[in-house]
Amino acid sequence: MKVPKFVHLHVHTEYSLLDGLSKINKLFDHIKENGMDAVAITDHGAMYGVVEFYKRGLKEGIKPVIGMEGYTTNINHRERPERGKFQNFHLLLLAKDKEGYENLMKISSIAHLEGYYYRPRVDRETLAKYAKGLICTSACPQGEIAQALISGNYEGAKKIVEWFSEVFGADYYLEVQRHEYGKFIADVENAQLRSELAKMAENEKTIFQGVKKLSRELGVPIVATNDAHYVKAEDATAQDSLVCIATGKNVSDVTRLRFIDSPTYYLKTPKEMTELFSDLPEALENSVKIAEKCDVSLTLDKWFFPKYELTEGKTPDEELTVRAREGLKERLPKPSKEARVRLEYELDTIKKKGYSTYFLIVSDMARIP
In CATH, the architecture of 24-293 is Alpha-Beta Barrel (3.20)
Alpha helices in the chain (DSSP H): 24-33, 50-60, 98-113, 124-129, 144-150, 154-168, 191-218, 236-247, 270-276, 281-293, 316-331, 337-353, 356-367
Helix, coil or strand: residue 222 = strand
For the chain, what is the radius of gyration of the CA atoms? 25
Longest dimension (CA), the chain: 83
Contacts of 60 (CB under 8 A, 6+ apart): 28, 31, 32
User: Which of 302, 308, 312, 299 has its CA nearest to residue 356?
Assistant: 308
Domain boundary assignment for the chain: 24-293, 316-367
CB 286 within 8 A of CB 222: yes
- How far is Cα 194 from Cα 201, in angstroms, rounded to an integer? 10
Sign of CA dihedral 333, 335, 340, 343: negative
- How far is Cα 200 from Cα 142, in angstroms, rounded to an integer? 12
User: Which of 257, 231, 260 has its CA nearest to residue 246?
Assistant: 257
Helix, coil or strand: residue 249 = coil
pTM of the full predicted structure?
0.88
Which tens digits make up the pLDDT trace of 133-185?
999 999 999 999 999 999 999 999 999 999 999 999 999 999 999 999 999 99
- How far is Cα 353 from Cα 250, in angstroms, rounded to an integer? 47
Which tens digits make up the pLDDT trace of 67-117?
999 999 999 999 999 988 899 999 999 999 999 999 999 999 999 999 999
User: Which of 214, 324, 217, 260 has its CA nearest to residue 21?
Assistant: 260
Amino acid in the structure at residue 332 = L
- How far is Cα 342 from Cα 337, in angstroms, rounded to an integer? 8
Could you please report the per-residue DSSP string of 136-167? EE--STTBHHHHHHHTT-HHHHHHHHHHHHHH
Show pLDDT as tens, one digit a residue, over the chain (369 residues): 577 899 999 999 999 999 999 999 999 999 999 999 999 999 999 999 999 999 999 999 999 999 999 999 999 999 999 988 899 999 999 999 999 999 999 999 999 999 999 999 999 999 999 999 999 999 999 999 999 999 999 999 999 999 999 999 999 999 999 999 999 998 888 888 899 999 999 999 999 999 999 999 999 999 999 999 999 999 999 999 998 998 899 988 877 767 788 899 999 999 999 999 999 999 999 999 999 999 999 998 887 888 888 988 899 999 999 999 999 999 999 999 999 999 999 999 999 999 999 999 999 888 866
